[in-house]
C-alpha cells in the first residue's frame, strides 16, 4: 500500500517566483516521475485538486521540489511551513529513459521545466555512467535562471538563452540549441526536454529533422495523477494516452503535435 501523507521539512523562496520545498519521503524515484501534492488541508475544496510536481532533488529522507508560482495553488503553496502535513501521492508515471549506449545527452529546458533534470543528473551519476551532458536552458530573463550553478557544479555544460537578452543568447533556447547542433558544437545521442508547449514542439521538430531520439515531459492539468480520471490524455500515434500513467515523458515521435 502506497503512503499518501508527508511532512514539510522546509519551504523557501529562492527568487521572487521560484521556491524550494523539502518534503519527507523515502523510496525509489525514477528521474522524470512526479508526485501529486495537496498544499492545503484535505477539508478545503477551493482549489479542489492536488497539483502535480516533479522532483528536483532527492536527499536522505526527503525530496526537494522546485516550483514556480503561477496561480492560486502555487501561491498557497508558498505558505507551507515546517511540520505541515500534506497529501503526497507518488512517485507516479514513467520518467526519462537512459540508455547504455548514449555517449552525449542534451537537455533542453524552459523556465521551471528545468526542475526534473537535476535529479536526472544525480541519478545518472549514481548509476556510474558519465556521458557528456549539456543543458540548454531558456527563460524570459534572469528570473528564470534558477539553479543553473548546480548543474555547472555537477559538470554539465550549461548554455543559456533569455528572451530579453539579459544573459546568454538573446532569443529562444530552441534557436540556440539548433544553432549549436548545426555548428556541430553538440552531437547528442538523445535529447531530453521539458518546458512550455511551444518549446517542446520546436525541439521535437529539430530532433525529427536530424533523426535524434527525443523525449519530452508533458505538462497537463491533472485530475488524479493515478490513471483513473482520464482527464490528462494526450493524442499519440497509438490513440489517447494518459500523461500521468503512460507519461509524463513520451518519445517525441509518438506525440501528435498538431493536437497538443
CA 242/CA 127 separation, integer angstroms: 29
Q: Of ligand FAD, ligand FES, a copy of itself, none, which one sits near residue 71, judging by CB under 5 to 8 A according to partner kind? A: ligand FAD
> Who's near 2: CB < 8 A, 6+ residues apart?
89
165: burial class by Cβ within 10 Å (0-12, 13-18, 19+)?
A: exposed
DSSP secondary-structure letter at 185? S
Q: Does 49 bind another protein (CB under 8 A)?
A: yes
Q: Does residue 242 interact with ligand FES by CB under 6 A?
A: yes
Which stretches does DSSP call E strand in 55-94?
A: 57-59, 62-68, 85-92
Residue 177: Cβ-neighbour burial (10 angstroms; 0-12, 13-18, 19+): buried
Please tell me what DSSP assigns to residue 232: S
Half-sphere exposure of 205 (CA within 13 A, CB side): 11
Q: Is 43 in the site for a copy of itself (CB under 8 A)?
A: yes
Task: Check binding of 47 to a copy of itself (CB under 8 A).
Answer: yes
**In the Cβ-directed half-sphere of 68, how many Cα atoms lie within 13 Å?**
14
C-beta separation of 98 from 23 below 8 A: no
What does 179 bind: ligand FAD, a copy of itself, ligand FES, none (CB cut-off 5 to 8 Å by kind)? none
Which of helix, strand or coil describes residue 239? strand
Q: Per-residue contact track with ligand FES, 194 to 233, x per CB under 6 A?
A: ----------------------------xxxx-xxxxxx-
Nearer residue to ligand FAD within complex by CB, 144 or 202: 144
∠ CA 55-82-80, nearest 5°, is 70
Binding partner of residue 2 among another protein, a copy of itself, ligand FES, none, CB under 5 to 8 Å per kind? another protein
Site for a copy of itself in 57-96 (CB under 8 A): 72, 76, 79
79 contact, one of another protein, ligand FAD, a copy of itself, none, CB 5-8 Å limit per kind: a copy of itself
CB nearer to ligand FAD: pick between 67 and 123: 67
In whole angstroms, how close is the CB of 79 to a copy of itself at the nearest point?
A: 7
Binding another protein by CB under 8 A: which of 140, 187, 221, 237?
A: 221
User: Which residue number, 69 or 76, has a Cβ lying nearer to a copy of itself?
Assistant: 76
Q: Measured from the CB atom, is 214 or 245 closer to ligand FAD?
A: 245
Which residues contribute to the site for another protein (CB under 8 A)?
1-2, 4, 38, 42-43, 45-50, 87, 89, 220-221, 223-235, 239-240, 245, 259
Amino acid at each position: 500500500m502506497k503512503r499518501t501523507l508527508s511532512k514539510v521539512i522546509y519551504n523557501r523562496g529562492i527568487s521572487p517566483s521560484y521556491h524550494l520545498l523539502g518534503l519527507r519521503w523515502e523510496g525509489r524515484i525514477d528521474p522524470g516521475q512526479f508526485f501529486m501534492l495537496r498544499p492545503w488541508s484535505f477539508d478545503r475544496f477551493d482549489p479542489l485538486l492536488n497539483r502535480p510536481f516533479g522532483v528536483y532533488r532527492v536527499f536522505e529522507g526527503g525530496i526537494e521540489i522546485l516550483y514556480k508560482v503561477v496561480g492560486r495553488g502555487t501561491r498557497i503553496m508558498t505558505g507551507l511551513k515546517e511540520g505541515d502535513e500534506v497529501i503526497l501521492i507518488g512517485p507516479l508515471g514513467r520518467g526519462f529513459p537512459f540508455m547504455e549506449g548514449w555517449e552525449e545527452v542534451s537537455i533542453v529546458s524552459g523556465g521551471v521545466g528545468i526542475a526534473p533534470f537535476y535529479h536526472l543528473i544525480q541519478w545518472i551519476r549514481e548509476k556510474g555512467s558519465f556521458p557528456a551532458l549539456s543543458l540548454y536552458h531558456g527563460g524570459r530573463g534572469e528570473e528564470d535562471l534558477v539553479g543553473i550553478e548546480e548543474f555547472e557544479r555537477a559538470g554539465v555544460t550549461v548554455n543559456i538563452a533569455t528572451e530579453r537578452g539579459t544573459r546568454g543568447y538573446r532569443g529562444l533556447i530552441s534557436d540556440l540549441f539548433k544553432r549549436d547542433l548545426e555548428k556541430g558544437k553538440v552531437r547528442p545521442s538523445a535529447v531530453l526536454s521539458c518546458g512550455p508547449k511551444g518549446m517542446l514542439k520546436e525541439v521535437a521538430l529539430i530532433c525529427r529533422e536530424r533523426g535524434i531520439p527525443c523525449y519530452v515531459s508533458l505538462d497537463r492539468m491533472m485530475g488524479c495523477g493515478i490513471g483513473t480520471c482520464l482527464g490528462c490524455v494526450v493524442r499519440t500515434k497509438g490513440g489517447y494516452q494518459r500523461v500521468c500513467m503512460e507519461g509524463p515523458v513520451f518519445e517525441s515521435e509518438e506525440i501528435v503535435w498538431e493536437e497538443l
